[in-house]
């Protein structure tokens, strides 16, 4: 399970313009290595800008289309993108660190959550992984854990997604 903003792409506050999407160097190459090793690639992302009215779901989909185009061009099929469109005030189950997006992937994609890994740049992502029973890797790109909203330590810290993949491939058997 990969966070999007700050992990695969540069963190841009309330990103809704495809032309502002910038891939983090080496991110898609790392994702490709995971895919080649048999992992499912599931992107999970909070998008509170939708719930706050800053942009629409269509804007979000346009940005994702750009990401999926770049991934396809790099030979990296992404199995699914799940997103939470709610603001924090909505207190929904899908907003990270709530586990509804992971539970949905478990049901729809037959993901073995116990053998899965959550990779993200925020302590929120680490807490999501812990809540779901997954291993966790915090990358130092994007926010790099500086949000300090949750205190749980990740299983591993990596400078970027490429190095996170090295940890995953060294320590884990592919999730089915």
Residue 5 is among the residues annotated as catalytic for this protein: yes
The answer to whether the peptide bond before residue 97 is cis (omega within 30 degrees of 0) is yes
Helix axes 27-36, 57-73, angle to 10 degrees: 70
Give the C-alpha separation, 75 to 69, whole Å.
10
Query: What is the maximal distance between C-alpha atoms in the chain?
Result: 42
Mean pLDDT of 106-126: 96
Average of per-residue pLDDT values in the chain: 94
Cβ proximity of 100 and 120 under 8 Å: no
Task: Check 3, 59, 121, 155 and give the catalytic one.
Answer: 3
59 assigned to active site: no
In this prediction, residues 39-66 reach a mean pLDDT of 97
**Structure pTM?**
0.94
pLDDT reported for residue 171: 76
pLDDT at 173 over 60: no
**Active-site residue (options: 5, 59, 155, 160):** 5
Question: Chain-centre distance of CA 101, in angstroms?
Answer: 11
pLDDT digits (tens, 9 = 90+) for 141-156: 999 999 989 988 999 9
């Amino acid at each position: 399970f990969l966070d999007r903003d700050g992990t695969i792409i540069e963190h841009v506050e309330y990103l809704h313009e495809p032309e502002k999407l910038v891939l983090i160097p080496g991110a898609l190459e790392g994702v490709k290595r995971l895919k080649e090793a048999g992992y499912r690639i599931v992107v999970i992302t909070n998008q509170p800008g939708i719930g706050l009215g800053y942009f629409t779901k269509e804007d979000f989909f346009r940005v994702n289309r750009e990401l999926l185009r770049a991934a396809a061009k790099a030979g990296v099929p992404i199995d699914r993108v799940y997103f939470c469109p709610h603001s924090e005030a909505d207190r929904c189950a899908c907003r990270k660190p709530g586990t509804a997006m992971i539970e949905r992937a478990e049901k729809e994609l037959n993901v073995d959550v116990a053998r899965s890994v959550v990779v993200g740049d925020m302590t929120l992502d680490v807490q999501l992984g812990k809540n779901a029973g997954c291993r966790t890797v915090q990358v130092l790109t994007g926010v790099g854990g500086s949000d300090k909203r949750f205190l749980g330590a990740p299983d591993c810290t990596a400078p970027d997604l490429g190095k996170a993949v090295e940890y995953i491939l060294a320590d884990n058997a592919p999730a089915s």
